[in-house]
Structure 1
Amino acid sequence: MNTKFKRNIKIGYAYNFFLQLNITSAIWVLYLSFKGMSLAEIGILESIYHITGLLFELPTGAIADLHGRKFCVVLGRAVNLLSCILMITSKSFMGFAVSFILSSAAMNLNSGAAEALIFDSLKELGEEDRYKKIWGQLAFVMSMSQGTAVLLGGILADIRFLYAYIFGTFVQMLALIVAFNFSEPTIHKPYMDKHEENRSGKILMDQLTLSIQALKGRKTVMYAILFSALTGSLQTTVFFYSQKYFSDMGLTKTIIAVICAFGSFIEAISSKYAYSLEKKVRLKGTLICICALSIISLAGLALWRKYSVLFYIMTTVSGGFAYTIMSDYINSRIPSAYRATILSFDSFSFSLFMIFLFPLFGFMAQRTGFEATFGATALICIPLMIFLTNRLTWHDNEDVKNVKVLEKQDEPIAARQIS
């Protein structure tokens, strides 16, 4: 029994490598422009992607808790495969819009489920305390894969865009094949009885309701989710717009690809060793470090263009630290029966931040320039980051004491809610 869950961890490395080997991630804007889409249409397509994320994120998390993490992971890769095919064959805005909707839904299906699958596999082995280190190593693999993807995408796109998308589709086929090899961890759902198994709609709504109920006594988990989403959206926004920022500075596409790839490598290192940093300076010290790096990097991008590459790299360091530490913090404080659903709140929050931050950044950069926009972003986001850090560290000890008590309360709460 334990062997298959140990195998899940090994499979997780291969799966996440192929998942993040998305060589079209850094060229999709150029590709859509090549296919005849205007910048306005491209912006609308990006909005469609994140709006879809908001609509599907929580239901897909609940589906993973109810029908299995493996089920959602496999379904997500199958849906994404359809999205890749549409990106190759579509010639109209509507075709690309459907592709973006499918791509977002596929990411929703994977987001909470894949993370929950790894944590619950370790829980089956009684090794939850290893999650921080394991997830850091997985994050290392994913970041290295992303860096490789940026280089491959740039090379293939210079030859022909079609080659990049065909290769990307082949990689997604490999990810789907690997996903079939996962074993489903056992998730105890005390409120599910034989009569209710056929009432899927009611059960789905109940799962969402009970997950919110489980969060009520875990306020710092909600703060952690918001902190994770904020740092993730900041790093993503800087990543995409820095490519244009560097291009305006006169850097070639090849040099920009090398910078992004190096950034992914640095992010991989920081993700892998984030647990070591937290072990030395504890949670509060790590969060302060993430805040300090974010402040310095955004201020640097705004004020010292000459050293913009260095400040860009700093954003990848803070992103790597936050990704690993927040994942462990959240997972260690939520019950397995609602894990994928609650983790979906993280992706939901990320999409919410992106819907506002990404287009606002682009609008401001077009009107006032990148330097002023980086500065404005710092003035808007950094105070919120500091506030969340304060709330997390202030209430963390109390929340740790309450976790075991709350876990005992979850089952009777569920029983009362459903009955």
Structure 2
Amino acid sequence: MKFKVKSNIWKLYGYYFFHNFILAYVIERLYWQQRGMSIQQVVYTEIIYAVIIIILEVPTGYWADAWSRKNLIVIGSILTCLEFIILIYACEFWHFAFAVGVAAVQKALCSGATNALLYDSLKVINYENDFEKILGRIRFFDYTAATLAALMGSILGVKLGFVSNYWLSLVSTIISLVFAIMLIEPNINKRECECRDKEYIKQSIDFLKGHKSVRFVLLIGIFIGANIVYLDEFWQIYLNEINIPVIFFGLISSLNSIIVSISSLCAYKIKGRFDEGKLFLILIIIFSFSFILMSFTKSINGLFFIALIYGSSGIIQPLVSGYLHHRIESSYRATIESFQSLALRVMTMTVGLVFGKIASKFSIFEGFRFIGVVSIVYLVYYAVNKSKNDLNVKARKS
């Protein structure tokens, strides 16, 4: 039995690789635009995506614990295949909205189930101390697949047409589904993973109320995550507007992924050399003014500011995650992460509604300028309140 469960490790490598080997992503916005989707309509689909995840995130976590992690992963994989089938034939707003809704359900189903299944598998074979190492390898497969897909996708999209990328992505998701079906459900004691009840939620809220610095840092992650979403979604439109050929999109996407990877790996080394409060301040300044400068740059030089945005966010996100996990008790760590995710989706919708209207009425440059202005407003808030929140509160020993 242990040998079968151990096989889940390489099966998850395969699952994640093909789940992220999506050639469609590098030309996604151009394909949607080609099929009649405006920027405002894309933002509406982002809101649909966020709302569905907000509704389903906590219930699906319960289902994974009480029923089956593998079954949720398999159902999610089937939904991913369905998403691409819909997108291949989509030509109206409601088609794209339906596909995004399917993607949101998939995300909610699998977001906690995959990590839980991995940890349970390692626990069965007494390798649970290697969880971070195995998870790091999985992320390596994520980035490798995304980089290869971006490089291939831009070339094939130009040579064969954008829709060909969606057919090839469908093939990749089917292979990912096969790996999901091959997974083995570990035998675990259900009493060890009973669903969080109202008491856990209350304890989580009480914890946040009593820890100002944690709330303050939590907001940094929420803010950065909500704003970076719209660069992730519309960088292709920006590149198209500054007359960069589509064939180079894959190379640029790959370079951005490499920047995020390297900056994330360097985050903890940088942390040890600076006061955390000052470090966050410097990174938020870079993040905010890069958006402003990018919005005024209508040439290839805009790529430099995009790199700065991805580089600063690549450092911020692991620092925020590390800060929180070192100070949150294990008993309600996941619950507080759920609160962060819910708040992130709400902020994403709020920013997106205004961003979409501005970008649709004027241009993508004005849309990103709005995000830059919002970022500077947050920067002022952070600078004013930094001294009121001691970010050097000692981490919890656990």
1:199 equivalent in structure 2: none
* CA drift at 1:64: 3.0
Q: Amino acid of the residue matched to residue 173 of structure 2?
A: Q
Contact preservation (8 Å) 1:223, 1:392? no
- Asked if residue 166 in structure 1 is aligned to residue 167 in structure 2, the reply is yes
Residues 1:67 and 1:319: Cα distance change in structure 2 (over 3 Å): farther
Indicate whether 1:394 and 2:395 are aligned. Answer: no
**Distance in 1 separating the partners of 2:99 and 2:238:** 28
CA distance in 2, matches of 1:189, 1:334: 22
SS of aligned partner of 2:25: coil
Match of 1:244 among 237, 246, 263: 237
| Post-superposition offset of 1:253 | 1.4
Q: Do 1:151 and 1:257's aligned partners in 2 also have CA atoms closer than 8 Å?
A: yes
Aligned partner of 2:291 in structure 1 is 298
Describe the superposition over 1:232-272 as per-residue Cα deviations: whole angstroms up to 9, x where unpaired: 23222123333222222222112333222211122122233
Cα offset, 1:101, TM superposition: 1.0
Name the stretch that deviates more: 367-376 or 140-149.
Answer: 367-376
1:261 corresponds in structure 2 to 254
Between the aligned partners of 1:255 and 1:45, the Cα distance in structure 2 is 27
Normalised by the size of structure 1, how large is the TM-score? 0.75
- Separation of aligned partners in 2, 1:7 and 1:260: 32
| Cα shift readout 1:102-137 (whole Å, capped 9, x = no counterpart) | 111101222233345556767864637x73x66555
Matches within 5 A, 1:18-417: 18-37=18-37, 41-90=41-90, 92-117=92-117, 125=127, 127=129, 131=132, 138-158=138-158, 159-179=160-180, 180-181=182-183, 184=186, 186=188, 189=191, 207=197, 210-211=200-201, 213-218=203-208, 219=211, 222-281=215-274, 283-284=276-277, 287-305=280-298, 307-334=301-328, 340-367=334-361, 369-384=363-378, 387=382, 390=386, 394=390, 397=393, 400-401=395-396
Evaluate the alpha carbon distance shift between residue 38 and residue 283 of structure 1 in structure 2; reply closer, same or farther with a 3 A threshold.
closer
Separation in 2, partners of 1:167, 1:367: 34
Report the Cα distance in structure 2 between the residues aligned to 1:223 and 1:117, rounded to whole angstroms: 32
Contact 1:64–1:341 under 8 Å retained in 2 = no
1:281 Cα shift?
Answer: 4.2
Identity of aligned residues (%): 24
TM-aligned CA distance change 1:252 to 1:43, over 3 Å = same
Shift of 1:46: 3.4
Distance apart, 1:314 and its partner CA: 1.3
User: 1:184 Cα shift?
Assistant: 4.3
The number of residues matched between the two structures is 388
Aligned counterpart, 1:407: none
In 1, the alpha carbon distance for the partners of 2:20 and 2:204 equals: 31
1:32-74: per-residue Cα shift (whole Å, max 9, x none)? Answer: 3444556654443333222222222232233334445444333
2:23–2:169 CA contact under 8 A, matched in 1: yes
Shift of 1:280: 4.5
- 1:188/1:390 CA distance change after superposition, 3 Å: farther
State the alpha-carbon separation in 1 of the partners of residues 382 and 2 from structure 2. Answer: 42
Deviations 1:349-380 (A, max 9, x none): 33222212234223223445555544442332
TM score, norm. by length of structure 2? 0.79
What's the Cα RMSD here?
A: 3.8
